[in-house]
Structure 1
Amino acid sequence: MKSLILYSSLTGNTKKIAYSIYDAIQGEKDIKNISELVDESINYENYDIVFLGYWVDKGICDKNSKQVLENIHNKKIALFGTMGASTKGSYGASIIEKVESIVSKDNENLGSFICQGKIAKELKVKYEELLKLHPENEHISEQLNNHEESQSHPDEQEISEAIIFAKDVMSKVNTIM
């Protein structure tokens, strides 16, 4: 069995989870940063499973991850992502649902994992400016309040959960094959 871990990472959060997954799974495996794939095409036929990691941008996966995800066909896929906001509540679930909707129907989605990541400092400035324009916007207020709390994420608990997720996915694949 051969696994491919693809990831896109803006602040290092998704990269951290990707390498945790890479280290946790057994068998032949490769890990690649999506942003470094510009001149490299991937032959997905060489892999039994593809883990794809994304960072959340405007309520869905980043554009590079979306583009790669749209081009994967007839594979077993597992998705993982990081977002600046808390994943508790309906917002995290809605992100997973949106990203899963991008997966081509000819793929077998083996599951999704999402966790909080640290919010980029530049984004805090952007949210402060947006809040001046839209002081009633709850999401913007929550993001600002969450900025300090987010700086410790992904934490050890979330990394542990990502590892459990990856091992569960791999056990599904081994059962299927």
Structure 2
Amino acid sequence: MKAIILYASKSGNTKKLADQMATQIGCEAVKITSTSTSATLNLEEYDLIFLGTGLYAGTPNEDIVKFLNGLNLKNPKQFALFITWGGAPRSDKMALGKLRAILEGKGQKVLAEHFAAYGGWKGILMKRGHPKPDEIAAAGEWAKGIMVKMEKS
């Protein structure tokens, strides 16, 4: 099974998870920018796509949303979502729902299981030091577990 990790990260938090996941499962982690397209990344050659984003005011990174809206794949892929955020609890559910709706609207399959690293919320200040080393390690283990499950199915 061939996998790739796509992510968008403004502060570097999501990148930390993406890099650890890439190390654990032996694949490439690619940052999505405003100019990224499914054609430039040649996603047709992958079976599983890990897709990660930070959340900003409860919404996914705008580069990820733009990328997904322009997604044009001939064959459906499996997507596994992961996020980092610090904000109102449960704001992740809406953002994950938005990502899922875009992907499924384009005929893609989204795994029910996702990974989330929550940095908390204290008034207007997020906790510093997020994600913690144990969250980074857990992201790698999660990705490895997804690969094992997908290879068995």
Task: Give how far 1:108 is off.
Answer: 1.7
Q: Does 1:18 align with 2:18?
A: yes
Q: Does 1:57 align with 2:59?
A: no
Q: Using the alignment, how far apart are the partners of 1:112 and 1:165 within structure 2?
A: 9
The verdict on how the C-alpha distance between 1:72 and 1:18 changes in structure 2, with shifts beyond 3 A counting, is: farther
Aligned to 1:175: 152
Match 2:30 to one of 29, 32, 47:
32
Q: Which blocks of at least 5 consecutive residues in structure 2 are unaligned?
A: none
Task: Give how far 1:16 is off.
Answer: 0.3
Aligned to 1:101: 101
Task: Give how far 1:24 is off.
Answer: 0.9
User: TM-score, normalising length from structure 2?
Assistant: 0.81
Report if the CA contact (8 A) 2:9-2:61 is conserved. no
| Matched residue SS, 2:11 | coil
Percentage identity across paired residues of the two chains: 29
Aligned to 1:156: 133
More helix by share: 1
What is the number of equivalent residue pairs in this alignment? 147
Report if the CA contact (8 A) 1:72-1:104 is conserved. no
Report if the CA contact (8 A) 2:2-2:48 is conserved. yes
Residue range with higher mean Cα deviation, 155-164 or 109-118: 109-118
Runs (4+) of structure 1 moved beyond 4 Å?
Answer: 36-40
Equivalent position amino acid for 1:84 in 2: G
| Matched residue SS, 1:101 | helix
Task: Give how far 1:60 is off.
Answer: 1.7
Q: Which blocks of at least 5 consecutive residues in structure 1 are unaligned?
A: 119-138
| Matched residue SS, 2:138 | helix
Q: Does 1:166 align with 2:143?
A: yes
Aligned to 1:77: 79
Report if the CA contact (8 A) 2:104-2:110 is conserved. no
Residue range with higher mean Cα deviation, 5-14 or 77-86: 77-86
| Matched residue SS, 2:33 | helix
| Matched residue SS, 1:85 | coil
Equivalent position amino acid for 2:12 in 1: G
The verdict on how the C-alpha distance between 1:36 and 1:62 changes in structure 2, with shifts beyond 3 A counting, is: closer
Higher relative contact order (CA closer than 8 Å, sequence separation 6+): 2
| Matched residue SS, 1:152 | coil
Aligned to 2:67: 68
